[in-house]
Amino acid sequence: MKSIVILVSGRGSNMEAIVRAASPGARIAAVISNRPDAQGLQFAAAHGIPTAVVDHKAYPDRAAFDAALAEAIDGFAPQLVVLAGFMRVLTDDFVRRYDGRLLNIHPSLLPSFPGLHTHRRALEAGVRVHGATVHFVTPALDCGPVVIQAVVPVLADDDEARLAARVLAEEHRIYPQAVRWFVEDRLLIEGANRVRVRDEATTTSALVVPPVECVS
């Protein structure tokens, strides 16, 4: 049984998707937020999941906050830490502490559109496809090894809200899948920037893409 800690800052809809998927062999040990009013804490508590708050406003800098956050996480002894709408930039030391066991989901087809406002930027760039990426977290922002990606078409009448909604639906599908693969010990990080899924079929309903090397 693998223990998982999920970090949220708001509603945590991807956290909800992971909890509802209930991967065999996984136990959600805790949901932790940097915001006391995060709606995701209420969902977790209603499902019998322990919760904790490490309020970033109570710390003088990112390093102090990350140290307190790591202490809270380690109290649950997780094998995997999942970022699910956790809106804090983490220090390099924090990321290295959980090397190979820290997952994030980003609302674009990385390495395209790292950072914020991805849907607006995709529309402005005129791309024909957009999507979401689950990746291992590394010190380079939004540049870690790609686990799984899902693609959605960009339609002629799309605005940010419509495009974001379709991408979010795919996030809710692929994030639980990535967590399940981790729990089943099927994710193999090869080299600096590639993930292979052990025994995975060559075709899948979500697009699994070899990552392009990031330039940091």
Q: For the domain that residue 46 is a member of, what is the CATH number?
A: 3.40.50.170
Q: Which ranges of the chain does DSSP label H, i.e. alpha helix?
A: 13-21, 39-46, 62-74, 92-97, 118-125, 160-183
The number of distinct structural domains making up the chain is: 1
Per-residue pLDDT of the chain (216 residues; tens, 9 = 90+): 999 999 999 999 999 999 999 989 999 999 999 999 999 999 999 999 999 999 999 999 999 999 999 999 999 999 999 999 999 999 999 999 999 999 999 999 999 999 999 999 999 999 999 999 999 999 999 999 999 999 999 999 999 999 999 999 999 999 999 999 999 999 999 988 899 999 876 545 445 444 445 544
The set of residues, in sequence order, having a beta carbon less than 8 Å from that of 151 and lying 6+ positions away, is 109, 129, 130, 131, 170, 207
In a domain, 104, yes or no: yes
Residue 141 is part of which domain span? 2-197
- What is the number of other CB atoms lying within 10 angstroms of the CB of residue 160? 14
What is the reported pLDDT for 212? 42
What is the reported pLDDT for 208? 45
Tokens of residue 175, six digits: 């994030």
Among residues 56, 106, 135, 172, the one annotated as catalytic is 106
In a domain, 29, yes or no: yes
In a domain, 30, yes or no: yes
In a domain, 34, yes or no: yes
In a domain, 51, yes or no: yes
What is the reported pLDDT for 23? 87
In a domain, 42, yes or no: yes
Separation between Cα atoms, residue 42 and residue 203, nearest integer Å = 38
What is the reported pLDDT for 210? 40
In a domain, 203, yes or no: no
In a domain, 79, yes or no: yes
Separation between Cα atoms, residue 212 and residue 143, nearest integer Å = 9
**106 catalytic per annotation:** yes
Beta bridge partners of 51: 31
Q: Are 83 and 9 in contact (CB under 8 A)?
A: no
What is the reported pLDDT for 200? 76
